[in-house]
Amino acid sequence: GAEVCTLRPNSGEVHAVAFSPNGQRFVSASKDKLAKIWDAATHSEVYTLAGLSKSLVVFSPDGSLVASESGRGDSVKICNSATGAEVCTLGGLQDLSTFAFSPDGKRIATGWSELVTIWNAETGDEMCTIEGHKRYVWSLAFSPDGERVV
């Protein structure tokens, strides 16, 4: 229970945090529209992703990618978690509310408006869109085998 350190990562309120699967890095995303990647051992900032709007961030299951909601809530930027280099952007989303990587990290599902779209996480190619929800999609998850989305 002892405090290790206190970070003042962002100038705005921090809205989301996530550890990489191996625990070596973590990300903080805030109201100031920035996501900062941190080294968990040294507590130093590794890089910053700018242009967020709702502060949604998540690492891929193997930790190689980090996805962040960007733009005006209409896209997801997927970056290499080691370098911050952009891998692809998933665009054309309206009222993005959630996203999640598949267990193998090869796909990402986005919930937006009343739709769920499955994308190739490495190329940004749309794979399919699931329609028929009567209200906004606020949360989603892949099954452990990656075959289903709820």
Tens of pLDDT along 24-61? 999 988 888 888 899 999 989 999 888 776 678 999 99
The pLDDT value recorded for residue 9 is 59
Kindly state the average pLDDT of the residues 10-37.
86
The pLDDT value recorded for residue 31 is 80
Buried b (16+ CB within 10 A) or exposed e, 78-106: bbebeeeeebbebeebeebbbbbbbbebb
The Cβ of residue 147 has, within 10 Å, a number of other Cβ atoms equal to: 9
Position 21 confidence tier, pLDDT thresholds 50, 70, 90: very high
Contact partners, residue 81, CB within 8 Å, separation at least 6: 20, 25, 37, 59, 60, 63, 64, 65, 66
pLDDT tens column, 98-116 = 999 999 999 999 998 888 9
